[in-house]
Every structure is written in structure tokens, then in C-alpha cells.
Chains A and B, each alone.
Chain A
Amino acid sequence: MTTAPTGTNQSTTLAVEPEPGRRKLSTAKAMQEAISQRMARDESVFVMGEDVGPYGGIFSSTTGLIDRFGPERVIDTPISETAFIGLGIGAAVEGMRPVVELMFADFFGVCMDQIYNHMAKIHFESGGNVKVPMVLMTATGGGYSDGAQHSQCLWGTFAHLPGMKVVVPSNPYDAKGLMAAAIDSDDPVVFMFHKGIMGLGWMAKNNRAIGAVPEEEYVVPIGKARVAREGTDVTIVTLSLSVHHSLDVAEKLEAEGISVEVIDLRSLVPLDRDAIVRSVTKTGRLIVVDEDYQSFGLSGEVIAVVAEHDASLLTSVSRVCVPDVPIPYARELESIVLPTPARIEATVREAVAR
């Protein structure tokens, strides 16, 4: 049940609420807990995907669920994304609440028709008479040398196509809350989690991949960004793992008197345009840090939001993205194309110097 803890401020500027408490989880465990809590109270929620059963999901999104709920509700599929994602759609149409995993977002190529032409369009085409209350969760992101076909973010592509909500948590607290909100939603929600924020033992992890998470059930509303760090000199609008890198840079530059505000978008569809505009109105300098490809995507959209609102707000605009190149395998090359702390820092310095 969505809970508003007693005495908590319900303002739209959205402090982290409910209070996280002291108990810490990794992002992966937070996702597992959200799914588990929803499955416990609603028989119609089930999980389906490749290796989600005993393996627990390749990136630990479903560890422990099959032990608790059994193979009838945590289901391993054949390598048939079109078939099982479509199956999820049909089950959702008939009143179930599937949580379907697309192992890597990069694999959308083999099943995109079911996603964007069916899952995302059925509600509209039916004039609102048919709902598809489904979650499509998928792993994104690079930085561990998995190469061009296994390192992409691609949220810009999903966000671009009407009819599906897109959420991209950056931390354990938001991951649990957004997963719960996604399962609750009567709309199809694409839940995109960066492998680098999961807190996996076998991949280099940022220390914010482990964080305080309330034990109770709660939701983080879809469509609301969060001010991850307040500042006055420059706005970084970002998401996912790049939030952590941006915060690291902001902490470092604080010592030099550069005040960086970091906006964690959390959702792309709906996009919290007000939060973006509010921040840039304050700072006048906009940097978008986005691990997706630079051109024709999220970073351009964020800049357009501000420019359409009032282009005169902007004294400087820049973006730190993956350039328009497939992500290279060699570490020396991959580390150049990713939006690293070094690139972010250089961009901030350059922006405030103008």
C-alpha cells in the first residue's frame, strides 16, 4: 500500500520520503525487495525472463524470489523475447501484472515490435479500453568492457516512442520505490537499471550503490525528478550511474568554491520538465550528462525543454554523452567515450569559466 509516513512533508519538491532509516541494501537487493513485497500482496504479480529463476537474474534483479514464491510465479523462459514479452502483454490485458525482464536493453532489437507497437500502443488504439499493466525491466550501461552490443543505455530510444513510461533509478532508495510504482501502475513501464548501480560483487561499484532503504512498502512517484544536490553555479541534469559521477565531481569542486546542482531525473517518461527549468532558472548554466548516445536523444531533449521555455535563461549549454560511436571494447577507448568524472569535471570548469 502506498504509505505516507506520519508527519512527512508532501511537497512537490520531493525530499526523500519516507525516511530511509539505517538499514542499507544494494540497488539489486532493493529491487528484489520491491518485487517481493508486491508479489506477497498481489497474486497476479509474476516475474518472467531469461535466467530469472534459480539464477536470480544475470544482474541479480530477482535473487531469492523463486525460493519465496516458487517456479509458478518466477518463470524462466526460452530465448524468445518476442514470444515472452508478447505473452506478458496478453497476460496483462487479461488482468495479471507481469514483471518481464529483457536481459540487456541492447537486445531490444529482437523484440521491439512487441514493445513499441503493442505494449505501448494497445491502450491508445483501444481508446483507453484495454490496459497493459506490465513492467519491462532491463539492464543497461557499460564500463566493464562488455563491448558494443552489451553496454548500451538506450533509454532515449524507449523514451522517444509514445505509450510507455520510462524510469531510470540511480540508487537503492529510488530503485525500490520506482519498482513498486511501476508494478502498481496500470500503464506499461520500462524500468531501466544500470548494471553499475546494482552493487554487484563482481563488477566495480560506486559506493552509492549501497544505500539506506526503508523496510516498509513505499513508492517513488513516476514522473518526478529529485534534486540530488543543491547548488547555484551550474545545473547538471543527469540520471542513473552518471548521478553518482556528477555528485563525486560536485563534492570535489565544492572545495574550490564551485557550486554544482545535480538533478537526478529518475523518470524520462513522464519527464519532469518543471524541475529542469526551475534549476536552470537558478543557475543559468546547463550541462546534461547522459550515458546514452549524444545525438537525437535525451540530452537534446533536455536542452530543448529549457530553450523552448526561455532560451535567454541559458548562459551556457553543454552535454557529456557517449559520442555517436558504438561502444568500443578496449578499456582505453571505452573510458574515453563514457561520461566519466574527468569529462564531467572538465565540462563544469569550462561552463563556469564562461
Chain B
Amino acid sequence: MTLSTTPELTEESRRSLLNTMVLIRTYEEAIRREYYADKMPAFDIGAGLVPGEMHLSAGQEPVAAGICAHLTADDALTATHRPHHVAIAKGVALRPMTAEIFGREDGFGHGRGGHMHLFDPSNHFSCSGIIAEGLPPALGQAFAFKRQGNNRVTVAVTGEGAANQGAFHESLNLAALWNLPVIFVVEDNDWGISVPRSESTSVTSNAVRAAAYGMPGVRVEDNSVEAVYAAGGEAVARARSGGGPTLIEVHTLRLWGHFEGDAEGYRPELKSVPDHDPLPRYRDELLQAGGLSAEQFQAMQDRAVEQVEDAIQFAKASPAPNPSEHLNYVFSEGVNS
């Protein structure tokens, strides 16, 4: 079947990719600031306005921007415990997302879910804190879209560590067997918390595993948003046209710790990590190529700060959930009959 061509990148679309990356980075930096603000000097994970675990996606912006550029609000995406970058790139609204991260009543889940359990039905976006377990429900969304006869697709984001979990293998087999319109995106950021890929994975690339399950697999080696964009475009087009699933593995970068508070003593290359930051690299590429001016970049940053701070203020102003409602939402109200 003929795949529709991935739209060529114009200067404007390149700036758009960069803008998404800037927005994500600005957001993660702001959340990081808020997260630590009231937990120090002695780090207490349960303290402060944003208690609990926090998994930030700085360094992984190219995956989110490159893949989600091909998606609409009607396409579905399931993400992991590290969801903010793909949520933002998918178009999830910052205010209810941030309010949920802050555990407030105006959050997507009225404070019930928190940062690892963000659900935006209008964008068919969800995430889960259990490794690899976001893949099976993504199959179901793809199954429903296929059954409904539209050309919507589902993206299932996961990590290289998750690629050794049973759910990953079951999902790849079933997606290929049933020819589902799903794109598996494996973010290989080298580290499953503190265990490097070389010590967890029997193959050097999960694209190899894709072939074993009967679907195309591609590995993007250099955390380049444009390379992700190209691979993503082909995969999404394949899925939309009934060509079935694809696996894209991106060798990306976890710029910070697995969780906030992670001292990363296990990471020998720690000092050189910032040198590989994909954001200034892409900015410089565009500046050099002439498709971006310093003023335009500044404007992107300013706009991002504005949006992010607005969302944070919204979250802080939102009330805490009412304790007397702690039993709400276990079951739905009505019965369909």
C-alpha cells in the first residue's frame, strides 16, 4: 500500500519542533524548582507542594516532539512514569496537568492520580507507573480505532528497561498478529534506574526484537528530533494506512536522575552528560542554518516561561481535594441500560 509521504520539514516546522522542546524543558525545570522548593535542606520525599516521586524528562524532548508532530488530538498515546514531555507534545493542557501534579481539585484526576497517572480523555492521553504495562491498553485503543474504521493511531511509549518485561513481548506479538495501528516508541536513555542497558538486555537494539515479532523496527541513534520526526512520520503513515505496527527505538538522553533526588553515583559518564544536551544542539543547528534568529529563540523561551508559570500559578491557586470526598470515583455513577 502507498504510504503518504512524511511532510518535508520547513523552517517553520523546524521552529515548531524546537518550540515544543523548549516548552518541555521550561516545564521540567519549573517542576523541578517547585518540587525541591519545600523539601530541603534534608530531602524529605513526602514533603511540600509536590510530594512523592518525580520523574522528569529533560533530555528526552526530541522523542516527544518528533513523534507527536504527526499526531492529532484524536490519536491516542500511552506514556510511562516519565510522562510530561509526551503529554506536552501531545497537546495536553498545562493547567489541569499541572494541577494534577500538585494534587489539586482542578487536576485531570481531581488530585487522585498525581504525576504518574495523568489522564486527558480529550487527547486520548494516559500514563501508568508500572513498567511496560501501558502497552497492552494502547493495543486496545488501536483495536477500537481499527474496528471503528477511522485512521487513528496509538503511540505506546516505553523504555529500554521495559523491553525486557513480559508485557512488552506479549504486546509486540499481539500487535503484529492482529495488525494493529500502534507505534511502539522505546526511549533508550541507557539507564533502567541504575542498571545500564548492557547489563539488562540481551540484544543491542530493540529494533532487532521488532523483527522477531514480525514488524518493522528502526533505531534512531543520535537523539535527533529530525531523525525521530522522519521515523515517526513513516511509522504513523504505515499505521494510518492499515499497514500495522512499527517499533521505533530512540537512543535518547536522561539529562537528570531517574527520579528527582537520585544522586546518580552509578553513572560514570555523569560529568559529560550536559555536553550531549539535545536542546542547545538543535537550537544551534537552526541558528546556523539561518532558519532561526536569536530573537525568535528568546521569544520562544519567554512564551514558554509565560505558559508554564501560568500553569503553576493555576495549580497553586486550585484547592486541595475535599477529604470528605476520599471515597469518590471508585465506581461510576450510572449503569448503561
Contact = CB atoms under 8 A, between A and B. Distances in A.
Interface of A: 1-2, 77-78, 80, 82-96, 98, 110, 113-114, 117-118, 121-131, 133, 162-163, 165, 181, 184-187, 219
B147 A96 contact: yes
Contacts of B141: 90-91, 93-94
Contacts of A126: 108-109, 112-113, 117, 119, 121, 126, 329
Contacts of A118: 128, 130, 133, 136-137
Contact of A94 (B128, B140, B166): B140
Given A83-B136, A83-B171, A184-B335, A94 B145 contact: yes
Given A83-B139, A162-B330, A113 B335 contact: no
Interface in B286-337: 328-332, 334-337
Interface in B93-127: 107-113, 117, 119, 121, 124, 126
B107 A78 contact: no
A114 B144 contact: no
9 contacts: A80-B173, A82-B136, A90-B141, A94-B145, A96-B144, A110-B166, A127-B111, A129-B121, A186-B334
B215 to A, nearest CB: 14
Given A87-B143, A95-B144, 9 more contacts: A82-B171, A90-B137, A91-B140, A121-B117, A129-B108, A163-B331, A184-B336, A185-B336, A186-B336
Contacts of B144: 90-91, 93-96
A130 B121 contact: yes
Contact of B171 (A77, A86, A125, A165): A86
B140 A93 contact: yes
Contact of A127 (B109, B130, B142, B174): B109
A131 B331 CA distance: 9
Given A114-B136, A130-B121, A86 B336 contact: no
Contact of B337 (A90, A117, A129, A219): A219
Contacts of B337: 1-2, 184, 219
Contacts of B133: 82, 86, 113-114, 117-118
Contacts of B73: none
A127 B140 contact: no
Interface of B: 76, 78, 107-113, 117, 119, 121, 124, 126, 128, 130, 133, 135-145, 147-148, 154, 166-167, 170-171, 173-174, 177, 328-332, 334-337
B330 A92 contact: no
A89 B117 CA distance: 15
A116 to B, nearest CB: 10
Contacts of A1: 337
Contacts of A130: 119, 121, 126
Interface core residue of B111, B113, B140, B328 (most chain A CB under 10 Å): B140
Contacts of B139: 83, 86-87, 90
Contacts of B128: 117-118
Given A118-B137, A122-B119, A87 B174 contact: yes
B157 to A, nearest CB: 14
A131 to B, nearest CB: 6
Contacts of B329: 123-124, 126-128
A88 B140 contact: yes
A86 B140 contact: yes
Contacts of A114: 133, 136-137, 167
Contact of B330 (A82, A85, A86, A163): A163
B121 A127 contact: no
A86 B141 CA distance: 10
Contact of A89 (B119, B137, B173, B334): B137
Contacts of B170: 78, 80, 82-83
Contacts of B142: 90
B171 A124 contact: no
Given A87-B136, A117-B130, A122-B126, A165 B109 contact: no
Nearest to A221: B335
Contacts of B140: 86-94, 98
Contact of B108 (A80, A89, A127, A165): A127
A93 B124 CA distance: 9
Nearest to A3: B337
A125 B119 contact: yes
A113 B111 CA distance: 22
Nearest to A163: B330
Contacts of B332: 123, 128, 131, 186-187
B177 A124 contact: no
B333 to A, nearest CB: 8
Contacts of A127: 107-113, 119, 329
Nearest to B110: A127
Contacts of B331: 123, 163, 165, 187
A349 B313 CA distance: 69
A84 B136 CA distance: 7
Contact of B109 (A80, A117, A125, A131): A125
Contact of B167 (A83, A95, A124): A83
Nearest to A269: B331
Nearest to B147: A96
Given A78-B173, A80-B174, A123 B137 contact: no
Contacts of A77: 174
Contacts of A89: 136-137, 140
Contacts of A85: 136
A110 B165 CA distance: 12
A185 B337 CA distance: 8
A260 B171 CA distance: 51
Contacts of A133: 336
B136 A86 contact: yes
A93 B108 CA distance: 16
Nearest to A114: B136
Given A123-B332, A127-B113, A186-B332, A91 B119 contact: no
